[in-house]
């Protein structure tokens, strides 16, 4: 049942998400940094005016189809499937439904009938974090300038910006503080023309940065907390 202390703040429908267990490389036992994790999602619904527990399962008294009030547990689980189904490898998660079970609706003196639906998912994870770099970087030298273009990394919750650095010679900057910064039109620009360059040879590196702290739901990434590997182009000739 819903804990007594939680009744003061809980608002249904609710999806409780928590990890159950994990196994390192269960298929072969040879790659300890590859982990299969089992996740449980428990969907909880209540619908006012439900005398027999039917509406908590199939819905009823729905004031607005675009909202969750009055939706039954089977309707809410469709939204869970849709949200999880939209996760792809470029979001860092490969996940699939394994089992689903239904508990008998139970009566609560505060909520009325409460329906529970347990959904068990399995996903493949790694023991190290992944911060995607840009997809590519092209650099074309010209008279006093270099034209650069790149593809952004996948759009995920913590992606903040791209940082482009320039160095004279044939060695590209190794970090986001090496060399000279090239001003971009915005945090997620996809091209720039680096002008005002003297004749010579230049090398470039571009980095993608991520903000896990401020990028969480309700927040906005605004700090270079994590940095991807560099994508570089060396020895671009400027006339």
**Measured between alpha carbons, how far is 64 from 69 in angstroms, rounded to an integer?**
8
Cβ contact 1:106 at 8 Å? yes
**Measured between alpha carbons, how far is 68 from 59 in angstroms, rounded to an integer?**
10
Q: What is the pLDDT of residue 192?
A: 98
CA angle 82-85-89, nearest 5°? 150
Regarding predicted confidence, which is higher, 190 or 219?
190
- Domain 137-238 sits in CATH at 2.60.40.10
Q: What is the pLDDT of residue 128?
A: 81
Inform me whether the pLDDT recorded for 114 exceeds 90. Answer: no
Inform me whether the pLDDT recorded for 110 exceeds 70. Answer: yes
Inform me whether the pLDDT recorded for 1 exceeds 70. Answer: no
The residues spanned by each domain of the chain are 5-126, 137-238
CATH code matching the domain that covers 5-126, chosen among 1.20.1740, 3.30.310, 3.30.420, 3.30.2000: 3.30.2000
What average pLDDT score do residues 203-229 get? 91
Global confidence as pTM? 0.70
What are the tens digits of pLDDT across the range 129-187? 889 999 999 999 999 999 999 999 988 889 999 999 999 999 999 999 999 999 999 99
Q: What is the pLDDT of residue 135?
A: 92
What are the tens digits of pLDDT across the range 27-62? 888 888 888 888 888 888 888 777 777 888 888 877
User: How many CA atoms are closer than 13 Å to the CA of 3, on its beta-carbon side?
Assistant: 4
């Amino acid at each position: 049942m819903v804990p007594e202390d939680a009744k003061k703040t809980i608002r249904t429908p609710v999806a409780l998400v928590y990890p159950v267990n994990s196994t390192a490389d269960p298929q072969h036992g040879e790659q300890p940094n590859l982990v299969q994790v089992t996740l449980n999602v428990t969907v909880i619904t209540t619908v006012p005016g439900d005398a027999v527990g039917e509406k908590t399962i199939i819905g009823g008294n729905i004031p607005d189809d675009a909202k969750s009030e009055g939706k039954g547990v089977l309707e809410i689980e469709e939204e869970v499937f849709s949200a999880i189904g939209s996760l792809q490898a470029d979001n860092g998660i490969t996940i699939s439904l394994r089992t689903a079970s239904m508990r008998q609706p139970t009566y609560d003196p505060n909520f009325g009938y409460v329906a529970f639906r347990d959904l068990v998912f399995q996903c493949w994870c790694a023991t190290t974090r992944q911060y995607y770099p840009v997809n590519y970087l092209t650099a074309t030298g010209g008279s006093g300038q270099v034209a650069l273009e790149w593809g952004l990394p996948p759009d995920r919750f913590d992606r903040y910006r791209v940082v482009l650095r320039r160095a004279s010679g044939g060695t590209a900057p190794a970090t986001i503080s090496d060399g000279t910064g090239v001003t971009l039109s915005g945090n997620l620009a996809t091209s720039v023309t680096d002008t005002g360059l003297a004749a010579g040879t230049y090398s470039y590196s571009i980095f993608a940065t991520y903000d896990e702290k401020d990028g969480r739901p309700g927040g906005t990434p605004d700090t270079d907390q994590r940095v991807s590997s560099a994508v570089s182009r060396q020895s671009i000739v400027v006339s």
